[in-house]
């Protein structure tokens, strides 16, 4: 079960966070910026990344941040990096980035320094992009700070701008017949904030895809579907599996029987790593774009937290992709 929130940041901190979101939001690019995005077969796309933050059971301030890079279209892991972190900012719906993004940016920076030729050409993020209370979710935040194309992929509908998980919405879900079927998520403002996607023929629940940065919604939806072997896109799924496995190895947490069965299946698959896996020898065309200096501003926002401020929760309303025990059966 989700951990109960221990407290909230001050009103001053929330205002500071809102102002930072508004400032960075002006830098989001909603269209396609790369040649591979304009090709129907994604010709030129070789590396897709996924990120995840998994929480240590019983401790809402300790977590494992993970980044994986997969070859495309093979969807084989060619790079992975996981680190235990201590979260300093509490969880507040709509402000997930201030809790998690600094650790994800550090993972991207470390990859660009160690193996620049494996820098992902796009990141799939288990959270929302412009489908957000203020139009700037975690996928937008991470995209702007890393200057990488980012896609928000959420498991549950974030009910903003009049969007509701009501009977009409459920009827639309029932109309999705085959993997790849979609319907638009249009708010009361008249803006299409994202798309509901049936990611797999046998999935009964859609994913909610939205633009993060430097990609169009149409391309984001198509690519997300191409990355789905199961319900959850493989880059996010692999980041989640490996972050939980890292916690188990490091802290000795055995996990549930379902997790152990999933690990057993995963261990039987061939693993590829930076120096042994597929991937180009040279850096990608966009590898010269370094991470944004605005990460320093984001870290300053964290420092506004008072010493002794109660820390937050692992509950993840913004995405629904994180749960204490991942529902592996939902992947099928």
Q: Is 80 exceeded by the pLDDT of residue 207?
A: yes
Q: Which of 51-55, 62-66, 80-84, 289-293 has the lowest mean pLDDT?
A: 289-293
Q: Which of 71-75, 156-160, 254-258, 315-319 has the lowest mean pLDDT?
A: 315-319
178 close to 170: Cβ distance less than 8 angstroms: no
Q: Is 90 exceeded by the pLDDT of residue 246?
A: yes
Q: Is 80 exceeded by the pLDDT of residue 257?
A: no
283 or 139, greater pLDDT: 139
Would you place residue 269 in the very low, low, confident or very high pLDDT band (cuts 50, 70, 90)?
A: very low
pTM given for the model: 0.79
Would you place residue 311 in the very low, low, confident or very high pLDDT band (cuts 50, 70, 90)?
A: very low
**Amino acid 295: pLDDT:** 53
**Amino acid 265: pLDDT:** 54
Percent of the chain whose predicted confidence (pLDDT) is above 90: 71
**Amino acid 114: pLDDT:** 95
**Amino acid 280: pLDDT:** 39
Q: Is 60 exceeded by the pLDDT of residue 218?
A: yes
What would the two tokens of residue 276 be? 């042994």
The arithmetic mean of pLDDT across residues 194-199, rounded, is 98
Average pLDDT of the chain to the nearest whole number? 83
What is the CATH number that goes with domain 29-244?
3.30.2170.10
Give the separation between CA 197 and CA 91, rounded to whole angstroms. Answer: 27
**Amino acid 213: pLDDT:** 98
Q: Which of 86-90, 94-98, 103-107, 203-207 has the lowest mean pLDDT?
A: 86-90
Q: Is 90 exceeded by the pLDDT of residue 273?
A: no
How many CB atoms lie under 10 A from the CB of residue 86? Answer: 11
* Residue 144 phi, psi (nearest 5): -65, -45
Q: SS3 letters for the chain?
A: CCCCCCCCCCHHHHHHHHHHHHHHHCCCCCCCCCHHHHCCCCCCCCEEEEEEEEECCCCCCEEEEEEEEEECCCCCEEEEEEEEEECCCCCCCCCCHHHHHHHHHHHHHHHHHHCHHHCCCEEEECCCCCCCCCCCCHHHHHHHHHCCCEEEEECCCCCCCCCCCCHHHHHHHHCCCCCCCEEEEECCCCCEEEEEECCCCCCCCCEEEEEEECCCHHHHHHHHHHCCCCCCCHHHHHHHHHHHHHHHHHHCCCCCHHHHHHHHHHHCCCCCCCCCCCCCCCCCCCCCCCCCCHHHHHHHHHHCCCCCCCCCCCCCCCCCCCCCCCCHHHHC
Would you place residue 8 in the very low, low, confident or very high pLDDT band (cuts 50, 70, 90)?
A: confident
**Amino acid 268: pLDDT:** 40
Give the separation between CA 151 and CA 129, rounded to whole angstroms. Answer: 7
Q: What is the pLDDT of residues 20-36, one digit of tens each?
A: 999 999 999 999 999 99
Which residues on neighbouring strands pair with residue 315, listed in sequence order?
none
């Amino acid at each position: 079960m989700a951990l109960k929130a221990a407290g909230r940041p001050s009103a001053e901190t929330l205002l500071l966070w809102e102002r930072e979101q508004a400032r960075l939001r002006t830098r989001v690019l909603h269209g396609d910026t790369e040649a591979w995005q304009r090709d129907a077969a994604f010709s030129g796309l070789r590396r897709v990344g996924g990120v995840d933050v998994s929480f240590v059971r019983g401790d809402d301030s300790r977590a494992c941040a993970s980044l994986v890079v997969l070859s495309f279209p093979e969807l084989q892991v060619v790079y992975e990096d996981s680190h235990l972190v201590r979260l300093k900012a509490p969880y507040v719906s709509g402000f997930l980035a201030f809790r998690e993004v600094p650790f994800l940016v550090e993972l991207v920076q470390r990859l660009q320094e160690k193996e620049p030729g494996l820098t992902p050409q796009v990141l799939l993020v288990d959270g929302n992009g412009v489908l957000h209370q203020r139009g700037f979710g975690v996928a937008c935040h991470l995209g702007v700070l890393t200057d990488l194309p980012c896609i928000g992929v959420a498991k549950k509908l974030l009910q903003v701008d009049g969007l509701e998980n009501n009977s009409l919405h459920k009827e639309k879900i029932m109309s999705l017949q085959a993997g790849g079927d979609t319907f638009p998520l249009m708010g009361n403002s008249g803006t299409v904030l994202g798309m509901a996607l049936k990611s797999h023929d046998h999935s009964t629940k859609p994913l909610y895809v939205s633009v993060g940065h430097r990609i169009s919604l149409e391309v984001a939806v198509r690519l997300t579907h191409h990355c789905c072997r199961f319900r959850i896109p493989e880059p996010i799924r692999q980041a989640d599996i490996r972050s939980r496995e890292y916690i188990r190895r490091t802290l000795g947490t055995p996990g549930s029987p379902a997790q152990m069965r999933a690990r057993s299946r995963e261990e039987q698959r061939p693993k590829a790593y930076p120096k042994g896996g597929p991937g180009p020898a040279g850096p990608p065309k966009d590898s010269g774009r370094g991470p944004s200096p605005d990460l320093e501003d984001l870290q300053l926002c964290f420092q506004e937290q008072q010493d002794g401020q109660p820390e937050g929760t692992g509950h993840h309303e913004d995405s629904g992709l994180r749960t204490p025990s991942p529902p592996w059966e939902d992947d099928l």
